[in-house]
Amino acid sequence: MRAESSGELAVESSEFSADRRPEAAFDAHRCWPPTTDYRRLTKPGEQTDDLAPAGSEFPRNVSVVTLAWNEGVNIRRALQSVSGANDRVVVDSGSTDATAAIAVEEGARVFKHGFVTSSGQRQWALENVPFANKWVFVLDADEWVPRSLAAEVAALVERGDFAAAAARTRIVYEGRWIPRSTLYPSWTVRLLNRDRVRYENRSVNAHPEADGPILQMSSDVVHEDLKSLSLRVRKLERYARLEAVETQRWAGSPLQAVRQAKTLRRRIKVIHSLLPLRATAKAVVLLARGGAFEGRAGWHFVEESWHQERLTARYVRELRAQTRGDSTVAE
């Protein structure tokens, strides 16, 4: 059954809804102004202009799908970076802020669907949203497409002899690109033929399964979350719970999980989850590979990564205690 577009949306204002809780000031605060000096994002040999948002240069004949939940502070920039597309779709999970209204203002079609997992949400979109084009670009609400990537997408679509294409993610954190702290490069499928790709059923970090070749693009997507520290921490805490659920699924057979892992990074995650002091081990690795030299942004990112890993380990112990029927969980 096809989904129906949401139509008109009644929203009081383009800002976040009023919230009189004492801690609401943290949620409304932007952690950092959006990047406008693209020289700070370049690698050797790159042109600064190529890192600017693509905007109208994004290929018209490629649909864009964006998952969103309370992304009012980010969604406009994401959609504007692909404004050249003739079909931009936002799948909203019940936002209580201005996310949906902003998406409509930017000319996107908004569909409502209850959230379970990111992979499930994307698969629902592929099966139910009437996309205008065969090719679909997957863009998160806290990301944007630079001009270099848009040009590459246009060339690949013209070629067309593949099922999907992956791009690296260039994470900008507190106004700075921090490749060492964020384990750059990591690859994610971005461009896909909607008839030849299906997302696996996984709680977090799911990979699509393609009926045909998956190419690797030379240009990157830029990830830049402008939400407050308060909201970012809540997000990573949710990811910690999801990682714990996945870890618990193969708790009795880690060797099998390593063999079945679809990517090298996932194999490393399985092995890493077996280590004592996993949070500290990850923090040491991130700092040693150069995160210690990426300034305050690098240190803050490593600190948050440590917090997420620590929570994941504790959630795993809690799930195992529930399985055993223990009434208490050891610290």
pLDDT in tens, 178-192: 999 999 998 999 999
Closest CA to 65 of 103, 34, 105: 103
Residue 60 structure tokens: 């018209």
Closest CA to 136 of 210, 224, 72, 206: 210
More confident residue, 2 or 129: 129
Least confident range from 4-18, 105-119, 137-151, 292-306: namely 4-18
> CB under 8 Å, gap of 24 or more: what pairs does 115-118 form?
115/69, 117/201, 117/202, 117/203, 117/204, 117/206, 117/242, 118/67, 118/204, 118/206
329 — pLDDT class (breaks 50, 70, 90): very low
61 CB contacts (<8 Å, ≥6 apart)? 86, 133, 135, 157
φ, ψ of residue 302 in degrees (nearest 5): -60, -40
Bridge pairing between strands 63-68 and 88-92:
parallel
155-176 mean pLDDT: 95
| Residue 47 and residue 57 in contact, taking contact as beta carbons nearer than 8 Å | no
Least confident range from 99-103, 109-113, 136-140, 265-269: namely 265-269
Q: Work out the widest C-alpha separation in the chain, in whole angstroms.
A: 60
Question: CA angle 190-192-197, nearest 5°?
Answer: 115
pLDDT at 157: 97
286 CB contacts (<8 Å, ≥6 apart)? 180, 181, 183, 301, 302, 305
Question: How far apart, in whole angstroms, are the C-alpha atoms of residue 256 and residue 248?
Answer: 13
Domain 24-223: homologous superfamily in CATH = Spore Coat Polysaccharide Biosynthesis Protein SpsA; Chain A (3.90.550.10)
Give the single-character DSSP code of 133.
S
64 has a pLDDT exceeding 70: yes
Least confident range from 28-42, 218-232, 309-323: namely 28-42
Question: How far apart, in whole angstroms, are the C-alpha atoms of residue 241 and residue 315?
Answer: 6
More confident residue, 123 or 202: 123
247 has a pLDDT exceeding 90: no
Helices 264-273 and 278-288: angle between axes, nearest 10 degrees: 130
Residue 239 structure tokens: 């990811």
Question: How far apart, in whole angstroms, are the C-alpha atoms of residue 182 and residue 242?
Answer: 19
30 has a pLDDT exceeding 80: no
pLDDT at 245: 85
pLDDT at 3: 57
262 — pLDDT class (breaks 50, 70, 90): low
331 has a pLDDT exceeding 90: no
| Residue whose tokens read 């409304």 | 28
Closest CA to 189 of 169, 203, 170: 169
253 has a pLDDT exceeding 90: no
Average pLDDT value for the chain: 86
More confident residue, 90 or 261: 90
CATH 3.90.550.10 maps onto the chain at 24-223
